[in-house]
Structure 1
Amino acid sequence: MLDQLPEILQLDAEQKHFLQQVRQVMETYFGTDIRRITHAQDVTGHVIDLLQYIDADPVIAICAGLLHDIGIPEAERKYGRCDGKSQEIEGPPVARMLLADVGADESLIDVVCELVANHHTPNGVDSPEFRILWDADALVNLTGVVEGKEPYAIESILDKAMVTEPGYRLACKIYLPAGK
């Protein structure tokens, strides 16, 4: 996922190294929870895809993709659940700690934490990075939602779920049978 970032993103070696560090601290934090790690990696892969079509800060968007669900373990520990609201409450302090541990700039930390704090809130943040994160997370989470549904129903779900045109096109490519 981060090993082959598209040239169009114009990331320098230092930024790529930083993003690798963020990926590593996310994986370390989730530990043996392969499901959460895989989800974060899948969402981040879609973030990278969408960044090729949407003008946004790639470092912010990729960090948010990697860390958007980082509050789940703490939410489960505190509340016995990991619904969207509890993730939004517990995620920012953990994201802040992890980003600080890898030497992130305070302004980057603030923006990523705002995204993590709103990633289940429609229209939570008015930024291209938020819209990318929203669609990338939806692209992964829609698998269970559209399963077994007719194409017309899938198209309706995608139309309501996606907030960017590139996200919608990618969702159609993934979830609608060829020729629809």
Structure 2
Amino acid sequence: MTIAEILEKMICYSNGNIHDIDHLVRVWTFAKTIGELEHIDAETQYILEVAAITHDIACPLCRKKYGSADGKHQELEGGPLVREFLHDTGLTPAQVDRVAYLVSHHHTLTDIDGIDYQILIEADYIVNAAESEYSKESIKGFINKVMQTNSGSMLARQIFCV
């Protein structure tokens, strides 16, 4: 399945929740941009983009089940949901495994194992920082302590004027 088809499927899955749709599109856009600027290989770029599109797949369930979509609950519930979501997309088992891993860890900032994981963390942070109006000090700290890609750091510095 193409990225556009997975995006369309996820938009349908979002059931008209404009905030969720806007968030996933923005994270996907930043992840795609950072991946391309970092010149990652095509397979990793594809996995990254699928993970960015589906990274918050558990939010509706978490809101209903736990009363909030906090990161730890998203990680707990996201893996099984994304596996089910991707079952008919033509992704290989290895691709589904990697996407599920990324979705299940996208709020965990330790033991980041791969450029796809790193870029997903960076893209999601940029969008969350804008949506939640993080302080400039918080953003600077994240850039200096967590961001590892030149492109993600550059974009964050330009977007937030830090």
Preserved contact between residue 47 and residue 62 of structure 1 (Cα < 8 Å): yes
**Aligned equivalents of 2:145 and 2:127: distance in 1?**
15
**TM-score (norm: length of structure 1):** 0.80
Compared CA separation, residues 63 and 171, structure 1 to 2 (3 A): same
Q: Which amino acid aligns with 2:5?
A: Q
Alignment-derived partner of residue 48 in structure 1: 32
Give 1:91's match in structure 2, choosing from 78, 86, 90. 78
Preserved contact between residue 109 and residue 146 of structure 2 (Cα < 8 Å): no
Confirm whether residue 145 of structure 1 aligns to residue 129 of structure 2. no
Confirm whether residue 159 of structure 1 aligns to residue 148 of structure 2. no
Preserved contact between residue 64 and residue 116 of structure 1 (Cα < 8 Å): yes
How far off is 1:154 after superposition? 4.9
Alignment-derived partner of residue 12 in structure 2: 28
- The structure with more radius of gyration: 1
**Aligned equivalents of 1:123 and 1:45: distance in 2?**
24
**Aligned equivalents of 2:84 and 2:139: distance in 1?**
39
Secondary structure of 2:2's counterpart equals helix
Query: Which consecutive residues of structure 1, in runs of 5 or more, have no partner in the other structure?
Result: 1-16
Preserved contact between residue 138 and residue 161 of structure 1 (Cα < 8 Å): no
Compared CA separation, residues 153 and 47, structure 1 to 2 (3 A): closer
Query: Which consecutive residues of structure 2, in runs of 5 or more, have no partner in the other structure?
Result: none
**Aligned equivalents of 2:112 and 2:12: distance in 1?**
28
Q: Which amino acid aligns with 1:53?
A: L
State the aligned residue count.
157
Secondary structure of 2:134's counterpart equals helix
How far off is 1:156 after superposition? 3.9
Q: Give the superposed CA RMSD.
A: 1.8
**Aligned equivalents of 1:53 and 1:44: distance in 2?**
14
Identity %: 32
**TM-score (norm: length of structure 2):** 0.88
Confirm whether residue 168 of structure 1 aligns to residue 153 of structure 2. yes
Compared CA separation, residues 122 and 157, structure 1 to 2 (3 A): closer
Secondary structure of 1:52's counterpart equals helix
How far off is 1:173 after superposition? 0.9
Moved more, 65-74 or 48-57: 48-57
Alignment-derived partner of residue 45 in structure 2: 58
Return the structure number with greater relative CO, CA threshold 8 A, min gap 6.
2
